[in-house]
Structures are given as C-alpha cells and as structure tokens.
Chain A
Amino acid sequence: MLNDNRIRIITGHYGSGKTEFSVNYAVKLAEQGKKVAIADLDVVNPYFRTREKIDFLTEKGIKVLGSSIKGLAADVPAVSPEILAPIQDKSYQLILDVGGDPIGAKALGRYHNYFIEDEYDMFFVLNANRPETQTPEKAIQYLKEIETASRARVTGLINNTHLLKSTTVDEVLKGQKLVKEVSERLNIPIKYVAAIESVARELPKDIEGEILPIKMYMREEWMM
C-alpha cells in the first residue's frame, strides 16, 4: 500500500479533493512508520489549504512545509525555500500538494530537474462532479495543461469523485467510468479510488486501482 515513488506530486482541479487526498495519504504513510513530509505548493487558493492542518499533521510526525510567510491567512504566492530539503533528502517520503489549476501547477516547474523518471509520481485527481472535468475530453485537456505548466508527466490517475458527505457508491462508479476512459486514452494507470470510509467499504473489491478510505480532515463538522 502507498508503495509509490518517493516524491508524490498531487495535482487536479480545485475541488477535486487534492488536499484531502494528500493529507489522508500522508497520514496513512506516517502510520506505516515512514518519515513523511507534506509540502503545500498551493499559491492559488486562499482557504482550505494543507497548512491549516499544521498542528494535526505535526502531531502525526509529519513535516509540513508551506509559505515562507508566516501566518495562515496570507494570499501571497510565496513558497518556502525549505521545500527543497525533503526534495533533496532521500530519507523523506514527500507529498507535494499543488495548486488547483495550470497556474497553480506553475509553482512546481521550479523543481522540475528533481523530477527524474522512477523517482517521482505525479497523480492527477479527478472528480467527475466538477463541471470543468466532467467529460474525458475536458479532463484530458486539463491534465495536459497541468503537465505543460509543471514540466512533469502524470504517472497515475485517482478517482476521487465525490459530493462531500453525501457521496454514494454510484457517484464513485460514475467517476470510475470517466477515469477509466481517460486512463485508456492516455495509457496512464488508475492508481487509487478514494472515497469516504462509509462508501469505500461498499465499493466492489475488483475495482481498478487501490481503494483509499478518506477521512474528511479539511471539513468542519458543521459543513456538508
């Protein structure tokens, strides 16, 4: 489980659930006893970013890297120089949570010479309920734009189709169809199917991709 290359880059449209996926992935990896760092490269979204969960993640033994500017609430597109440390230090398992569009993915381009084949994975998170990635054509165009901006190749797809707490098995399967179509057209494997725990339990066991049960760390209890 989670046996991917050392550097995992998580991309996708905002609202695809990248950050929730990244945080869950990091927590599970840390629970396996790995030395984990998560870097928040999101220079696009001002709310709901990895860095808001710094206390929680630090408690789990995860190193959190974000803006070089202290204070959660800045809308300044600054990325900490510290991010280079776990990129270079091979003792770290690293997750890079990247901003939710081609503009956000630009921040990644600065590190492109570290992204050597077989040393990194770049996952593209897809949510079939996001209007901008609802068809294979739109999703593929988006994926290509992110690849161009980030100067890296997508190596795996993640079906993270959801309607937040009201997600059903049917929603995930609807998304699986879309992701499968993208996978076949681009010849990129489906790596994970992520869903809230109650739905993950009910998914068919033979679904393509590893099932990753998600806890909604980023949503307050009063949210949908």
Chain B
Amino acid sequence: MGKILMKGNEAIGAAAIKAGCKYFFGYPITPQNELPEYMSRELPKVGGVFLQAESEVAAINMVYGAAGAGARVMTSSSSPGIALKQEGISYIAGAELPCVIVNIVRGGPGLGGIQPAQSDYYQATRGGGNGDYRHVVYAPATLQETVDLVMEAFDVADMYRIPVMVIGDGMIGQMMEPVEFKEPKKRELPPKDWATDGTKGEREPNIINSLFIDPQELEDHVWKLEKKHELIKQNETRYEEYNLEDAEVVVVAYGTTSRVVKNAIAKCEEEGIKVGLIRPITLWPFPEEAFDKINENAKGVLTVEMSTGQMIDDVKIAVKGKHPVYFHGRTGGMVPDPRDIVAEIKKIAGGEK
C-alpha cells in the first residue's frame, strides 16, 4: 500500500489496531478526540472493544484490568485528562503491566487551552503518580514517526512489562500528513504467563497487584523495577543527532518544535553558521549520551520548547556543565517562530551574553 493522507489522531488509532490493539478505554477531550472517534468506529470491525468510560480515572483502571488479562490495550487523552490518569499509571507500573497511553498535549496548567503545547514534559518524565517508577516516553516529530512509534510502543510495553507513553503536542494530533504502515522490527516477546486469563485448572491463579505490605518485599520489588529501567536505558534510548562534531551552537528540541528548529537551522546554514541538533525521540530514557558527542568548541546549547522550560533540566544534567545552556520557549498554545530561533542562535554564536 502506498502513502495515504491521515490526520495525526486517526493515524495513531490505525497504527494501534495494526499493532494488535483490541481494547480502547477513554474519555473525550480536545485536541485528541478524533482518536477515540476512530477507535469507536474501527475497533468493532476487528473484534475489539471501544468503551467510553465515565471518566479518565475509570478509563485508566479499565486499561489496568485489560492489561492484567494480557490484552493489548490503549488509552488516550490530553493534558488535564492525563493528570487524572496518573494514579492508575502508577498502579500499572507497580503491577508491571504493559499498555500504551497517548497524550496529545494542550496548554496548561488546569484546563488551559486547546492549542499545542509541550508543558507536560515533567508530568510525562517525572510522573504525577506516586512511588519509584518510570515509564517509556516516545515523542515523535512527524506523523510517519508517530505511526512507527505507536506500533513499536506495544512491543516495548510487552517486552518489559511497562506502560509506554506516546506524547505529541496538539499539532501532531491535528495535522494532516502522508503516512504508510510498516511492520516494526521483529522482537522476541516473552510469553504473558503472568496474565490473569484463566487457570483452566492447570496452574495456580496469577495475581495482578501493586500492594506489598512487607517493606523488604517492597524494596526487592522496587529494585527489580529499577533494574528493568536500567535495561531500558541501555536498549531503548532513541534520538536523532545532526552535526554535533563541528557545530558552533547545538539546539535541543523534540516533537513539532524540532521541525521548526530544523527550519531555523537551514536558515542559519545559508548564512554560514554551523548549528547542530539533538532531537530526543525518547524523553525517558533521555538520550544523555548524545551530549557527550558535542564538540568542545561549541559556544552553547540552546533548548527550545513549547513550555517555560522543562526539558532544560535534563539538558543541563546531560551537558554536565561543559557548555552554557540557553533557553527559548513559547507556551500556552503558541508555536515558536523559526525567525526567533535564528535570532537566539545568532546571539549565542556571536558570543553575546
């Protein structure tokens, strides 16, 4: 099949179904509504179930149940809705269940607005839920990458028994772009012998649980999770890098913002300014290793976000004080303008403070 034109939210739904997702539980919120709408129309055709829950809290707990029974399951929402799901996400992480959660981010805090934002970076990478847990966060920049990563997200979730979040700003959800559906790379997935899918009288019942009353037992469990997190860091960290060897300025951006940045980089190159790029594709694990490749003579690292500055914390950790770190951001639903980014790059390249 050739390329077809899809809206981001629909493309996410189509990719999930192609990846074998059979269950979707959610609650409507702009700007991701086309996704549940697509699932409500398409899931019954493949013998799956779409259910509009009474709330986001109910939806994430339905995901918990379906994941516990071993099904491929997804939920989606936008920022304030994802905030409501945090308790469930923590439980799912604690119970080591695979699922995919999509956040099509809008401006906040509170109800905020419906236009694109990246102000849920902390929420996605630090977690709003309680306890020592992490989950994978993919941040695609094009609809093709969105489709590819949604399909891969289900495999990664199953492989490590961990929730995987796919985060896109409202632009990713609402934009139209050509996409095609390709099989993700084959992974050897472990059998779901832990699922509560019926003993058939042949084994002891499996138990899905995140409660550990005995502190030693809980500590052992948490360290086991942490070992898994380390493994994911080693194997699943993804990023795009460009021209880090001789860039005067390196820009760090993800998602839609990285596309505006690429446009700005092209403009700078026309004027003879060498600019590099680090585009995290996984926000967790954050691609710290990429920053070790920045050449010594670089004058600075510029973080561009649709927020007042959240990823910049991870950038500073990764830069390890070797270069000054600068920030440019728009927020509340405003998208950065390539011309403003060019101006920031020039300021840093010129050595001005």
Instruction: Pick from A43-51, A59-67, A183-191 the stretch touching chain B.
Output: A43-51
B3, A129: Cβ atoms closer than 8 Å: yes
Query: Which residue of the partner chain B has the closest CB to A14?
Result: B7
The B contact surface, by secondary structure, is: mixed
A-B contact count (CB 8 A): 61
* Across-interface contacts of B5 in A (CB, < 8 A): 15, 127, 129-130, 162-164
* Across-interface contacts of A47 in B (CB, < 8 A): 31, 115, 170-171, 174-175
A224 and B306 alpha carbons, distance in the complex (Å) = 20
**What does the 1/0 interface line of B260-275 toward A look like (CB < 8 Å)?**
1011000000000000
* Across-interface contacts of A166 in B (CB, < 8 A): 178
Total chain A interface residues with beta-carbon distance under 8 A: 23
**What does the 1/0 interface line of B1-15 toward A look like (CB < 8 Å)?**
001111100000000
Q: Which of A131, A221, A222 contacts B6 (CB 8 A)?
A: A131
B177, A224: Cβ atoms closer than 8 Å: yes
Chain B residues touching A, range? 20 to 34
B174, A46: Cβ atoms closer than 8 Å: yes
B100-130 interface (Cβ within 8 A of A): 113-115
Q: Is B142 an interface residue (CB 8 A)?
A: yes
A223 and B174 alpha carbons, distance in the complex (Å) = 12
* Across-interface contacts of A206 in B (CB, < 8 A): none
Distance (whole angstroms) from the CB of B338 to the closest CB of chain A? 6
Q: Which of A73, A162, A221 contacts B263 (CB 8 A)?
A: A221
**What does the 1/0 interface line of B233-259 toward A look like (CB < 8 Å)?**
000000000000000000000000001
* Across-interface contacts of B94 in A (CB, < 8 A): none
A115-130 interface (Cβ within 8 A of B): 127, 129-130
Which among A131, A162, A163, A222 has the greatest number of chain B C-beta atoms within 10 A?
A222
Q: Is A137 an interface residue (CB 8 A)?
A: no
* Across-interface contacts of A74 in B (CB, < 8 A): 114
**What does the 1/0 interface line of A156-168 toward B look like (CB < 8 Å)?**
0000001110100
A47 and B174 alpha carbons, distance in the complex (Å) = 6
* Across-interface contacts of B294 in A (CB, < 8 A): none
Q: Is B17 an interface residue (CB 8 A)?
A: no
* Across-interface contacts of A164 in B (CB, < 8 A): 5, 176-178
* Across-interface contacts of B338 in A (CB, < 8 A): 221-222
In addition to A73-B113, A130-B4, 20 A-B residue pairs with Cβ atoms within 8 Å of each other are: A46-B30, A46-B114, A46-B170, A47-B31, A47-B174, A48-B174, A48-B175, A73-B115, A74-B114, A127-B5, A129-B3, A129-B5, A129-B178, A130-B6, A134-B4, A163-B5, A164-B5, A166-B178, A220-B335, A222-B263
A-B contact pairs, 12 of them (CB 8 A): A15-B7, A45-B174, A46-B30, A46-B114, A46-B170, A127-B5, A129-B4, A129-B5, A220-B260, A221-B338, A222-B263, A224-B177
Nearest 3 CB-CB pairs, A to B?
A47-B174, A222-B263, A129-B5
Residues of A within 8 A of B (CB): 14-15, 45-48, 73-75, 127, 129-131, 134, 162-164, 166, 220-224
